Amino acid sequence: MKSLSVQPNASEVSKKKAVKIAVAKGDGIGPEIMDATLKILDAAGAMIKPEFIEVGNSVYLSGNSSGITSAAWDVVRENKVILKGPITTPQGKGYKSLNVTLRKSLGLFANVRPVMSLSPYVQTNFPEMDVVVIRENEEDLYAGIEHRQTQDVVQCLKLITRPGCERIVRYAFEYASAYDRSKVTCMVKDNIMKLTDGLFHKVFEEIGAEYPEIEKDVQIIDIASARLATRPEDYDVIVTSNLYGDIISDVAAEIVGSVGLAGSANIGTDIAMFEAIHGSAPDIAGLNLANPSGLINAAVMMLAHIGQQTVADKVKNAWLATIEHGYHTKDIFTQGRSTKKVSTDHFAEQVIERLGTAPENLKKSTLSKGNGQIVIPEFSRKPVEKKLVGVDVFLDWAEKDTNKLGEALDALGSYNLQLKMITNRGVKVYPHGIPETFCTDHWRCRFVSVKARIANDEPIYQEINYEQVVALLSRLNSSGFDVIKTENLYEFDGKRGFSLGQGE
């Protein structure tokens, strides 16, 4: 099942007709770097037709808390490609982050951030680094589902879905094949989060098997991020979930000295957005000092995405040659290493002058070898048998005597549901807890229906129905317990769909 990849004849289509793209200049240095970038694209012969949209600070200040007008939404949804300058989010309550709104509303599930060393022209301790971080963009802890449940305890739900994992992992492998990359490393923490990160890992193995030509590796995120920060040359393409990806993509950009240089893409099944990774830099706005490289690199990714890979290479190679010749904006200028300190405009002119040339020492751009836009197949769900076998009931209980709670719940067992254990912050405290375990006011009480017990092994569970759960909850309530939430315990095709408590 490796027949996906490209929009048919994307490059042919683009040769005949300019592709309409939504362009948001953004705030702060946004207009300066956007003007510089568009000049370069025009000189390089990019077949694009920018349609300018208003987003960001002026829209926020006009009273629109989303930062984007409905007219701008229409252009984005019609054109399906956005080149976006950085946005200043005003301080204060009520303003929503435009980036999050765009990402979530448009289903931009993949964040793609290539980070490459420009050594010796730009100072870095890692001259061999050439990494692409592919971060899942919509799920994980960033679903933003949080609750305060007791006086002492708040929670944030970590949601990992099979369709989400399949999309991002497939995207990473397709990206690696399309852009001639030889290895994909998956970063997870499934030694602890066996179900959520375990699913990400499992999908990586399943989909990875369809790409025998690509080397695969799975690393635990903590050691992986330490290695990325110390031996980045060991990595090629990295695929990971939202939170880990958020952190390691910044680590990657920082260690190679490219916060002002890197571009990124936010890819959806239908719409894609391209931008620099830095912000609106209000401290240097309007001074013609900003480095437009991040946005230029984002635009290069956009050109490859819309099937204009040859122009993408032309721009990238001219940019690399400019960096190589030492024409550097203030942020990357170093005495001895750079030739000339240039303004934003002057830098763009230097790139335009070099269009058609290639760098002598830095790695040349080879996007034209790639396939352009990557298309991910629709998710198809397989039927599974789901069986309810118990319930975790969470109680708010401010007392400390664990045995008192356990014995009360033991006595309460109802409708074939018996107390199996109680945990506090995930650690089993009943039966056979130890007094040293610190307990809060948030207790998870697991009730199951057991069909058979096997010595030293997990029992075989018996299917229950939801009426039994409701009856148990009612009994707990009438006995004075404060039920704050429940989680049903299911088996899927006979496999346990819930984790065990620590010490269970």
Sites of contact with ligand NAD (CB under 6 A) = 29, 86-89, 99, 260, 275, 278-284, 290-291, 294, 331
Of 76 and 290, the one with the shorter C-beta distance to ligand NAD is: 290
Of 260 and 372, the one with the shorter C-beta distance to ligand NAD is: 260
Structure tokens at 434: 């130890």
Of 279 and 413, the one with the shorter C-beta distance to ligand NAD is: 279
Degrees to nearest 5, angle at CA 352 with 348 and 308: 105
d(CA 305, CA 311): 11
Residue 430 has, within 13 A of its CA and on its CB side, a CA count of 21
Which residues touch 209 (CB under 8 Å, ≥6 apart)?
Answer: none
d(CA 286, CA 306): 31
Of 334 and 477, the one with the shorter C-beta distance to ligand NAD is: 334
What sections of 134-285 are H helices per DSSP?
Answer: 162-178, 196-208, 221-230, 242-255
Name the strand (E) or helix (H) holding 324. Answer: helix 309-324
Of 164 and 294, the one with the shorter C-beta distance to ligand NAD is: 294
Task: Please give the backbone phi and psi of residue 299, each rounded to the nearest 5 degrees, phi first.
Answer: -65, -35
Of 90 and 198, the one with the shorter C-beta distance to ligand NAD is: 90
d(CA 347, CA 35): 12
**Shortest spacing between CB 29 and ligand NAD, in angstroms:** 6
**Shortest spacing between CB 289 and ligand NAD, in angstroms:** 7
**Shortest spacing between CB 264 and ligand NAD, in angstroms:** 9
Tell me which residue of 143, 125, 361, 133 sits closest to 230, measured CA to CA. Answer: 125
**Shortest spacing between CB 280 and ligand NAD, in angstroms:** 4
User: Which residue of this chain has its Cβ atom nearest to ligand NAD in the complex?
Assistant: 279
Contact between residue 61 and residue 88 where contact means Cβ atoms under 8 Å apart? no
Q: Integer distance in angstroms from the first to the last C-alpha of the chain? A: 41
Of 95 and 498, the one with the shorter C-beta distance to ligand NAD is: 95
**Shortest spacing between CB 151 and ligand NAD, in angstroms:** 34
**Shortest spacing between CB 22 and ligand NAD, in angstroms:** 15
Tell me which residue of 128, 135, 219 sits closest to 175, measured CA to CA. Answer: 135
**Shortest spacing between CB 246 and ligand NAD, in angstroms:** 12
